[in-house]
């Protein structure tokens, strides 16, 4: 047992991760990406993405993928109209971890509220050669959806510490 611990501690640290292109470049690349599943050639998913209402989901969704393999999302379920005071912001959030599998990105939720009526929370994204992501038939494009009366900061997904 002690031999294994000494051997593990004597291993050289992994090389630094390569820089990851912007979200707009989410197409197959030749870069090697370190993931929870080991190093793979993959797709650059890092950045902010948005999807309009789609399928069973009647609201927009903003999602952010960090290079440290964490993600966060904000569902813009029922935003408060401009000029009104609402007891609830109409925004719900969830977060978790992601890993690349070829041209797909698998997400595992580890925080937030359970999915409610409408669309389920995503589990798998696929890169499309036009630079978009698709989840459950719903396209995502780089950027954020910002409803009237809200700011980008209010609807920007935040990765929990």
In contact, 93 and 75? CB cutoff 8 Å: yes
- Looking at per-residue confidence, does 45 or 157 come out higher? 157
CATH of the domain at 134: 2.40.128
Give dist(CA 28, CA 127) in Å, integer. 8
In contact, 44 and 21? CB cutoff 8 Å: yes
Buried b (16+ CB within 10 A) or exposed e, 50-66: bbeebeebebbbbbbbe
| Residue 5 domain-assigned (yes or no) | no
Give dist(CA 47, CA 51) in Å, integer. 14
pLDDT surpasses 80 at 18: no
Count of domains in the chain? 1
- Looking at per-residue confidence, does 72 or 117 come out higher? 72
141 bridge partner residues: 50
| Residue 1 domain-assigned (yes or no) | no
For 22-37, what is the mean pLDDT? 43
pLDDT surpasses 60 at 14: no
| Residue 13 domain-assigned (yes or no) | no
| Residue 56 domain-assigned (yes or no) | yes
């Amino acid at each position: 047992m002690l031999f294994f611990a000494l051997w593990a501690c004597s291993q050289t640290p992994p090389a630094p991760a390569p820089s990851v292109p912007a979200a707009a470049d989410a197409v197959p690349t030749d870069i090697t990406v370190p993931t929870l599943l080991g190093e793979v050639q993959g797709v650059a998913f890092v950045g902010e993405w948005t999807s309009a209402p789609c399928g069973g989901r009647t609201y927009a969704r903003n999602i952010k993928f960090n290079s440290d393999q964490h993600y966060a999302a904000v569902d813009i379920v029922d935003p408060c109209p401009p000029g009104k005071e609402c007891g609830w912001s109409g925004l719900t959030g969830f977060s978790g971890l992601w890993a690349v599998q070829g041209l797909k990105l698998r997400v595992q939720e580890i925080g937030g509220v359970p999915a409610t009526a409408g669309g389920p929370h995503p589990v798998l994204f696929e890169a499309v050669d036009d630079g978009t992501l698709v989840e459950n038939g719903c396209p995502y494009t780089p950027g954020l959806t910002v409803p009237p009366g809200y700011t980008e900061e209010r609807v920007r997904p935040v990765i929990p510490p």
